[in-house]
Amino acid sequence: ETGVTQSPTHLIKTRGQQVTLRCSSQSGHNTVSWYQQALGQGPQFIFQYYREEENGRGNFPPRFSGLQFPNYSSELNVNALELDDSALYLCASSTGTDQETQYFGPGTRLLVL
Amino acid sequence: KQEVTQIPAALSVPEGENLVLNCSFTDSAIYNLQWFRQDPGKGLTSLLLIQSSQREQTSGRLNASLDKSSGRSTLYIAASQPGDSATYLCAVTPTVRGGETSGSRLTFGEGTQLTVNP
């Protein structure tokens, strides 16, 4: 157990809908990163939030957006869902220094029909 | 652009074997390299983290080495057990630039799916 929790665990949506995924960071961690992992692939970096500000973004379109709250929990929002958005979405928390290991949550499995 | 490759993609071995998983990366400007374990449908568990200045790290039956100049890392698993069956992922963190918080974005390989048969 890493202390990072995500909700919901599974989700089914249809194309064009919007979805919000949630992540609760490990206590004391002020940085959260989101990753998308398609079946059989390694995770791909979506973006990172540090003290409520976006701090780096991967190669994902603007319909992927996020928020980090004062308690350092976080949301990932995806608008206009596409079939290729079907994946496991992972969040990871850390203290923000590169020396630290990132602690991953169990993920949210999203299926877009 | 950093690319991480893992070989083999899948590996099946009998219990008790010693085995080696390979990871290579194209850009040697890394801050650290990590090995993770992922059980089916689950999140990632960090196994070992090697700083760029280090050559290896050990934890129990696991030993990871890093050769930054050649862009290679290996994960050695001694005396494999059925409970070791999982996907093993390696990931690199880019070098921190100046004093800014560059963010610990990880670039992952596609993983090696390991099956240890009783």
A21 pairs with which residues across the strands? A76
CA distances from A38 to B30, B56, B84 (A): 25, 30, 23
Q: Contacts of residue A35 in chain B, CB cutoff 8 Å?
A: 106, 108
Min CA distance, A46 vs chain B (Å)?
Answer: 9
| pLDDT computed for residue A50 by the predictor | 86
Q: Contacts of residue B91 in chain A, CB cutoff 8 Å?
A: 42-43
Tokens of A103: 């602690």
Beta strands (DSSP E) in B8-84 are 10-14, 19-25, 30-38, 44-51, 56-59, 62-67, 72-77
Of B104, B105, B108, the CB nearest to A42: B108
What b/e string do you get for A20-58 counting C-beta neighbours within 10 Å, with b at 16 or more?
A: ebbbbbbeebebbbbbbbeeeebbbbbbbbbeeeebbbb
3-state class of B46 per DSSP?
strand
Q: Is the pLDDT confidence value at A2 over 80? A: no
Sign, CA dihedral B23-A94-B58-B29, equals positive
Vertex B83: Cα angle to A37 and A105 (nearest 5): 35
Of A45, A96, A97, the CB nearest to B105: A45
| pLDDT computed for residue A56 by the predictor | 86
Residue pairs spanning A and B at CB distance below 8 A: 76
Min CA distance, B99 vs chain A (Å)?
Answer: 11
Cα nearest neighbour of B108 on chain A: A42
Check if the beta carbon of residue A48 is closer than 8 Å to that of residue A30: no
Condensed to tens digits (0 to 9), the pLDDT of residues A81-101 reads 999 999 999 999 988 665 567
Condensed to tens digits (0 to 9), the pLDDT of residues A3-57 reads 899 999 999 999 999 999 999 988 888 889 999 999 989 999 999 998 889 888 9
Walk along chain B (118 residues) and give the pLDDT tens digit of each residue: 899 999 999 999 999 999 999 999 999 888 889 999 999 888 899 999 998 899 999 999 999 999 999 999 999 999 999 999 999 999 998 876 554 445 568 999 999 999 999 9
Check if the beta carbon of residue A113 is closer than 8 Å to that of residue A15: yes
What is the rounded CA–CA span in Å between residue A52 and residue A66? 10
User: Does B104 sit within 8 Å of A96, measured CB to CB?
Assistant: yes
